[in-house]
Every structure is written in C-alpha cells, then in structure tokens.
C-alpha cells in the first residue's frame, strides 16, 4: 500500500482557498434590535456585517457590499 501519499493534503493551501471563496460569497447580515412594536415583536434597526462586524442602520445603510471590508451582503429573505 503505497498510494497513501496521494491522500496528503496541504492544509495551509486549503485554508487559503476557503478564505478566498468565503469572501466572494454573499453572506446574510446579522441583525440587532433594541425596541419592540405594539405587538411585542422586536424591531431590528441595526444590521451587522457578517465579515468585519461593522454596524449599519437598517433602511438607511442598504449597501450591496460592506463599505468597510467589501463583503457582499445577501439581502434575500428566505420566506
Ligand atoms: Zn464588513
């Protein structure tokens, strides 16, 4: 059994590829809310870049790409 060497993987290269792929992929923002509406539902007024953690205002800062780090933001709602 000498074919074991074909299974050797360079973990460092793999990690670099993974990071590069992550950056190109749109990510959903995280949301944060500090108030409630009349029905007791939380109102999300802040969204947070999933890549760098920068906070933005919902309804005002609707960037397709985070201005700070360039992360593409996925605004699709899965309903
Ligand atoms: Zn960012």
pLDDT tens per residue, range 7-20: 666 777 777 776 66
CA of residue 38 to ligand 1 center, whole Å: 32
Q: Which residue in this structure is represented by tokens 């960037």?
A: 63
| Structure-block tokens of residue 20 | 């590069």
Distance 17 CA to ligand 1 centre (A): 20
**Between the CA of residue 55 and those of 39, 50, 79, what are the distances in Å?**
26, 10, 24
Look up residue 42 and give its two tokens. Answer: 């939380």
pLDDT of residue 11: 75
Measured CA angle at 44 (ends 29, 53), to 5 deg? 35
Please tell me the distance between residue 67's alpha carbon and the centre of ligand 1 in angstroms.
Answer: 7
3-state SS class at 11: helix
**Predicted TM-score of the model (pTM):** 0.64
Percent of the chain having pLDDT more than 70? 77
């Amino acid at each position: 059994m000498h074919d074991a060497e074909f299974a050797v993987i360079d973990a460092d290269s793999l990690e670099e590829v993974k990071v590069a792929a992550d950056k190109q992929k749109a990510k959903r923002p995280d949301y944060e809310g500090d108030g409630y509406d009349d029905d007791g539902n939380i109102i999300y007024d802040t969204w947070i870049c999933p890549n760098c953690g920068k906070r933005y205002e919902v309804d005002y800062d609707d960037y397709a790409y985070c201005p700070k780090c360039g992360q593409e933001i996925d605004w699709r709602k899965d309903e």
